[in-house]
Amino acid sequence: PASTTPATPLNHFSLNGMYQKGDVILGGLFEVHYFTVFPELSFTSEPQQLYCEGFTSCGFQQAQTMAFAVDEINRNPDLLPNIKLGYQLYDNCLKLGVALRAAMSLASGTEEEFLLYETCSGSPPVLGIVGDPGSTHSIAISSVLGLFRVPMVSHYSTCSCLSNRGKYPSFFRTIPSDAFQVRAMIQILRRLGWTWVGLVFSDDDYGVHAARSFHSSLAESGGCVAYSQVLPKDNRPTELQRIVGEIKSSSARVVVVFSNEAYLLPLVDEVVVQNVKGLQWIASEAWSTSSVFHTPRLMPYLGGTLGIAIRRGEIPGLRDFLLSIRPDDQPDNNHGNNMVRQFWEAVFGCRLEPPAGWVEAGGDVCTGQEDLRDVETNCGDLSELRPEYNVYKAVYALAHALHDLLQCVPGRGPFSGNRCASLQRLEHWQLVHYLERVNFTTGFGDRVSFDDNGDALAIYDILNWVWLQDGSIEVETVGVIDESAPTGQELTLDEDRIFWNFESKKPPRSVCSESCPPGTRVARKKGEPVCCFNCISCAEGEVSNTTDSAECSRCPEDFWSSPERDFCIPKGVEFLSYQESLGLSLMTASLLGALICAVVLGIFTRYRNTPVVKANNSELSFLLLLSLKLCFLCSLLFIGRPRLWTCQLRHAAFGISFVLCVSCILVKTMVVLAVFRTSKPGGNASLKWFGAGQQRGTVLVLTSFQAAICTAWLVSASPTPHKNMRYHNDKIVYECVVGSVAGFGALLGYIGLLAFLSFLLAFLARNLPDNFNEAKFITFSMLIFCAVWISFVPAYISSPGMYADAVEIFAILASSFGLLVALFGPKCYIILLRPERNTKKALMGRATTKT
């Protein structure tokens, strides 16, 4: 349509507007046209007026909603009684310059003083402005009008920057800030597991501030932006091709867009040209409800879009009000103006005042009697009132603030001196004071109030664009985000109702790297976003039991990692057990040795009066057998889980038993030498020192030395059980630590000393005459004993864990069996198998022969 004359003449600039008289005037700024056409400047003649093109029914419907709200308030006897509201509405033509001039014209109509009588001169003041819908426009306008505290209540400006009370002290809005919208989007992304997303935004304050907030919020939640593209204002094809190429090549399957439909539509056209399918679009509130995209051509690409939408509301009576509009209404009627004429011509495709040649060219002429019920507009669905509902709330917020101001009781006012504001001398900052405290509930049940930043309560609907089989499009509400809900319960999303525009009919995966399962940790890729990483298995002994764990935690000392490294399991326990074959074998050998000792002891007891037993010092033989039996049995203390008492007892029992054994052998050897020395002249004197009492005393004294060593060892540094984890990472080796190496060395050294003396004396007596010279057998047994214990030392030191105990048991058993067989084997052989040799004559016969 051509430019139209303004409702109120301005000096040098014509604005497209609507006007209704009233005692108090409210201003309004709306986007009724998309584009502004500027005339060419020749500098030779007066330039023509600029004009607007691209009529939008949605903007007109929002403007009419304000007119309806004013009309409804005027009919309400409980709200602003005896006061008639009027309005002055302007079309900003989606141009900042136009919007700013419109706002200045509204603000400049305020007179310093006026009365409510029609006879008074001067225009009624504009107490507040509803709008502007654009964030960029609101920033510029509020920066100027804020200096004069002129209240602005925007229904669609969402930039979070407008929450700055220092810069915009009189700005309010009935739509949530982008900060809330961004948080809502982050919650949706987190719920659906999308951490790798693309970002597209318009090159204006709305897009730039929303994108900045989205970047930081997504990073805090653990997500990443794969790419960030700015929509060109001039719709350059090359730039749009580059942006779509970036979207097409990216691995991110989710695209978040902060823009209005005017900037986004050229990009979507390019998406169609390049046939970029398989994307999940996330729409901001600026285009989530736009019907411009609901076409069969675009739905293969945009079907399934999830969008954030401002709260839907219901306004009873608005439909009838809109259907009652007529272009022939006069300017002083409720809603008559030439903006309605533009709407009428756009809807019915005709001209009310056709220019020359219009009819000849086949154009239709409007009669003004056409019926709006016979046509459909892009914004004709009054069941989904979203920006209109915000306009409705904004008008009522100003009305309630003015109502509260007029209800002030003189002497109890909020201003200095308890004064009240008066309508005759009202200043804008006084209305701002009441607007900050406004609190009421709409007929739809929504509470309207403003926080300290002038922001409204944040409640969003989550929309889903459903592409039906018949090719039609249906926008369904699939969730709600309520910032006033308890923490963690803000998002309500019915995923089963969401239409996914994919072959799988399931939500897409949009991650740079798949999540690291339990048992692994995240390893960042150098130079790439934090969402791009490798998964590295936890080291042995470390676990992670959560997905995408940043690090692996070490298991407690007694635990080890499971094969999958996802939880700690108790370490295996290793010690020489009775249940293992090795422990069972050694236990069997030990009991067998003790049993043999008992059998031999029984044989010697049975035949104690025979020459063989008597000739071999039966008392020491019995004591020797008892000590050997103790040696066999003490090896059992080395089997089983080490305890404090077994650790202390095992070495003491072992040391004392072996010293008792070796002491008996040493005394027997000394007795043999003494006996044969008696056969020489003067040898009787040496025998008296080796009587029975002296033999027992010698054994007792020698054993007492070992007992003293053991006592000192146990008192100073007692052996204790120890959990050794050096041998195996996944096992605990239970062992006894000797405590004092010096004590253990003294115990073994003392045994070795006695064994060496026994071997030396037996070796010297090996050729002494006797038919049964025991010195030979003692020499052989000591040779075995020393060989075993000499080889024991390196084997014991080099054996880990339970094998050290096994080596020690083996040494005990080997040396014990060597002594038992060497010393008592020949005697038992004679006693049991060659009884004819078990006589004094047989024993003495060989000696006679040798002499």
Give the pLDDT score at 359. 86
Give the mean model confidence (pLDDT) for residues 782-802: 80
Cα distances (Å, whole numbers) of residue 39 to 17, 52, 55, 93, 711: 20, 11, 19, 15, 115
* pLDDT of residue 18 exceeding 60: yes
> What span, in angstroms and rounded, lies between the C-alpha atoms of 701 and 663?
9
Higher-pLDDT residue of 406 and 335 is 406
- Per-residue model confidence (pLDDT) at position 650: 84
Q: Average pLDDT in the 652-671 region? A: 85
Measured in whole angstroms, how far is the alpha carbon of residue 793 from the centre of its chain? Answer: 56
Lowest mean pLDDT among 202-211, 611-620, 684-693: 684-693
Comparing CA positions, the residue from 646, 496, 472, 657 lying closest to residue 575 is: 646
Distance CA 252, CA 229 (A): 13
**88 close to 109: Cβ distance less than 8 angstroms:** yes
Residues of the chain with pLDDT > 90: what percent?
Answer: 36
C-alpha closest to that of 197 among 240, 251, 263? 251
Is the pLDDT score of 122 beyond 70?
A: no
Distance between CA atoms of residues 387 and 382, nearest Å: 11
Write the DSSP assignment of 460-491 as a string of letters: EEEEEEEE-TTS-EEEEEEEEEETTSPTT-SE
The rounded mean pLDDT for the chain is 84
Mean pLDDT of 791-807: 80
Whether 480 has a pLDDT exceeding 50, the answer reads yes
φ/ψ (deg, to 5) at 586: -65, -40
Q: Are residues 520 and 537 in contact, defined by beta-carbon separation less than 8 angstroms?
A: yes
The DSSP bridge pattern shows strands 720-724 and 731-737 to be antiparallel
* pLDDT one-digit tens code per residue, 190-235: 999 999 999 999 998 889 999 999 999 999 998 999 999 999 988 8
> How many separate helices (H) and strands (E) can be counted in the chain?
22, 29
pLDDT at 279 (0 to 100): 95
Query: Residue 756: pLDDT above 70?
Result: yes
Evaluate if residue 138 carries a pLDDT over 60.
Answer: yes
What's the average model confidence in pLDDT over 663-671? 82
Alpha-carbon span 328 to 46, nearest angstrom: 32
pLDDT of residue 361: 86
* Integer Cα distance of 751 and 758 in angstroms: 11
- Whether the Cβ atoms of residue 455 and residue 435 lie closer than 8 Å to each other: no
Residue with tokens 């007792």: 700
Largest CA distance in the chain: 169
pLDDT at 717 over 70: yes
pLDDT band at 575 (very low <50, low <70, confident <90, very high): confident
